[in-house]
Amino acid sequence: MDPEARKVIEMGYGGAERLTMNMGPQHPSAHGVFRAILTLQGETVVGMDAVIGYLHRCHEKLGETLTYTQYPSIASKTDYVAAMSSELAYVRAAELLGKIEVPKRAQYLRVLVGELQRIASHCVWLGTWCMDMGGALGGGATVFLYCIREREMVLDLFEALVGARLLYGFHQVGGTRYDLPAGWVQTCRETVDFIDRRIGEWEDMLEDNDFFLARARGVGVISRELAQEIGISGPLIRASGVNYDIRRAEPYSSYEDFDFKVPVETAGDCYARYRVRMVEFRESSKIVRQVLDGLPAGPISSRPGVKSVGQVRIPKGEAYARVEGPRGEVGCYLVADGSAKPYRMKWRGASFSNLAVLPHIIPGHKVADVVAIMGSVDPVFGEVDR
């Protein structure tokens, strides 16, 4: 470069220069594979472009090639942190279309595993979120290890029930595939009581900590209007003051039988989202106890055991089924043409919509807040990219 020109550039520096910084896809707090291209002015983010799709497996095309009995176990691979609820969304859509009855016991079992899954999933969220804020070499790692320890206990329950720890294949069209093994109910009660106590310890550790509050309060505010237009759901929209919970709005699997509270916060910031999830922990264990108390006897499936993969045939039509997963509305839109495979399957991932809110709220925050906000959104990239 011409020395004169260089001099002009150096002298004319006014401090308004922008820096483009690439975060991810390999980044410690990318929660999987997420790439954010940030435009910075100093430490402040002024623009953000989100790049997703690194984990794309085209689940929707896959759904068109697999039969109604084959797909549920694949469905758990969309949201792999909450596999139980994603399976349920697909199975419910098929049941709605085929008008298939589900026995009461199976419905209760579905609620049971769904709520246990919520506890396990929120454990992962709390741990990773604190790790985003506190670092893997700081207090965050401590919270993370505490949370993972408690999640292990839930996974042990699932292992005793299904044999798998992460991807279950528990649900099937017409009911569930497995019944509770002997002694499981007692272990489950003890686990839930134990985790309830531990939640209190986490709350003490975090909420009495001014640094935690300073990082979480007033950060990443999502307004009520934005929340609805983007279509975010689950704890996020409830933290923004919208009382929207599918378990209430459209009770499925006998959720109307249980008494639970839907927490709503109005602040819309990271702390509100944290509070909502902390209350949900307790509400979930409350529901689990109610299910265990009132578990009816009877069959666990309205259909006989599967002999061939093409056995379930669904009449022509279309249906949309949604369930309240730990991250929000997990929906499955099925178009059936009367064969053993769906004609079209649309998967509505809760994390996809939740993540879409990021470019709207992140500009204006500091770099350190980007990871805190992203952690509070709790994305699971299997579900974002599908």
Q: Does 98 bind another protein (CB under 8 A)?
A: no
Identify the H or E element spanning 51: strand 44-51
Q: Does 238 bind another protein (CB under 8 A)?
A: no
**Computed from CA positions of residues 250, 189, 84, 334, in that sequence, does the dihedral angle turn out positive or negative?**
negative
112 versus 123: smaller Cβ distance to another protein? 123
Q: What angle do CA 255, 282, 361 make, to 5 degrees?
A: 90
Q: What angle do CA 36, 38, 44 make, to 5 degrees?
A: 135
169 versus 231: smaller Cβ distance to another protein? 231
Which of 125, 144, 122, 132 is closest to 219 using CA atoms?
Answer: 132
Quickly tell me which residue has 């079992």 as its tokens: 109
135 versus 363: smaller Cβ distance to another protein? 135
Q: Does 135 bind another protein (CB under 8 A)?
A: yes
CB 118 → another protein: shortest distance, Å?
Answer: 21
List Cα–Cα distances, 253 to 104, 294, 342, in angstroms: 8, 14, 23
Q: Say how far apart CA 333 and CA 347 lie, in whole Å.
A: 6
Which segment (113-121, 139-147, 166-174, 260-268) binds another protein by CB under 8 A? Answer: 139-147
CB 335 → another protein: shortest distance, Å?
Answer: 6
Q: Say how far apart CA 104 and CA 124 lie, in whole Å.
A: 30
Which of 73, 161, 175, 69 is closest to 120 using CA atoms?
Answer: 161
CB 40 → another protein: shortest distance, Å?
Answer: 8
Rounded to 5 degrees, φ, ψ at 127 are -65, -50
By CB under 8 A, name the one of 32, 114, 134, 382 that touches another protein.
134
CB 338 → another protein: shortest distance, Å?
Answer: 15
24 versus 175: smaller Cβ distance to another protein? 24
180 versus 323: smaller Cβ distance to another protein? 323
Contact 38/45 with Cβ under 8 angstroms?
Answer: yes
* Helices and strands (H, E) in the chain, number of each type: 16, 8
Interface residues for another protein in 199-228 (CB under 8 A)? 205, 209, 211-212, 214-215, 225-226, 228
Interface residues for another protein in 315-374 (CB under 8 A)? 320, 322, 329, 331, 333, 335, 343-344, 346, 348, 352-353, 356, 360, 366-371
Interface residues for another protein in 254-313 (CB under 8 A)? none
Interface residues for another protein in 15-74 (CB under 8 A)? 19, 21-22, 27-29, 40, 43, 52-53, 56, 58, 60-61, 64-65
By CB under 8 A, name the one of 145, 165, 190, 315 that touches another protein.
145
